Structure 1
């Protein structure tokens, strides 16, 4: 069911996700990094014409499933809003220990700063 409030370019479809281990491995081999208190963002250029996102929220760092799911929803929402500003890159976001204890506002602010950092770093290379 489609949401009429979402603009077509603000959706998060399967083409905007990293789906295979090979795609994740490509990001981990030679990444451009950006970090914040609660997240590490790794990125590398891709051959698509749009950015793609992968998420890693380890049980070791975020114990409860409800907290892991909240973080993933928050990151996807942030990516959805910022994707038009990003170059054609593959991004992997790793949640750090303690990130589930922060408010959504704080996390969203950190993510916006990370998107800006990575866009500048990847545009320069």
Structure 2
């Protein structure tokens, strides 16, 4: 039975982890007008999630926290179908205008697209 936990091993924790994705020249990406998901290779056997939600894009802390909570929940539910890669979700200004259901549907569609990626490159 699959576990749907979101423990430390499923997170990008240090700036070094984030920098490795931002500096990779051929990362995959998926996105919409509300958010972008960058994909990079990792050395572990499971997918990992990182999030960047700039104050400049989403001003209120309550909106930033809601966005991050919904992204974490969506990732947790889709982690078993994703390849063992690193995923960084970057919020855009219009993301705060989405309802919870709209954001969940958008993330579901993007995770489905990214689950088609090959395991290793």
TM-score (norm 1): 0.89
| 1:72 equivalent in alignment to 2:68 | yes
Which consecutive unaligned segments of at least 5 residues does structure 2 have? none
Which runs of structure 2 are paired with 1:25-44 in the superposition (5 Å)? 25-30=19-24, 31-44=27-40
How far the C-alpha of 1:76 sits from its partner, in A, is 0.1
| 1:56 equivalent in alignment to 2:52 | yes
Q: Which is richer in helix?
A: 1
Across the two proteins, how many residue pairs are aligned to each other? Answer: 119
Which consecutive unaligned segments of at least 5 residues does structure 1 have? 1-6
Match of 2:10 among 7, 16, 19: 16
Q: RMSD of the TM alignment (CA)?
A: 1.6
Judged with a 3 Å threshold, the aligned counterparts in structure 2 of structure 1 residues 91 and 46 are, in CA distance, closer, same or farther, namely same
TM-score (norm 2): 0.91
Deviates most, 29-38 or 100-109: 29-38
Partner SS state of residue 114, structure 1: helix
For the residues of structure 1 that align with 2:67 and 2:85, how far apart are their CA atoms?
21
Cα deviation, 1:67-91, whole Å, max 9, x if unaligned, reads: 0000000000000000000010000
| 1:98 equivalent in alignment to 2:94 | yes
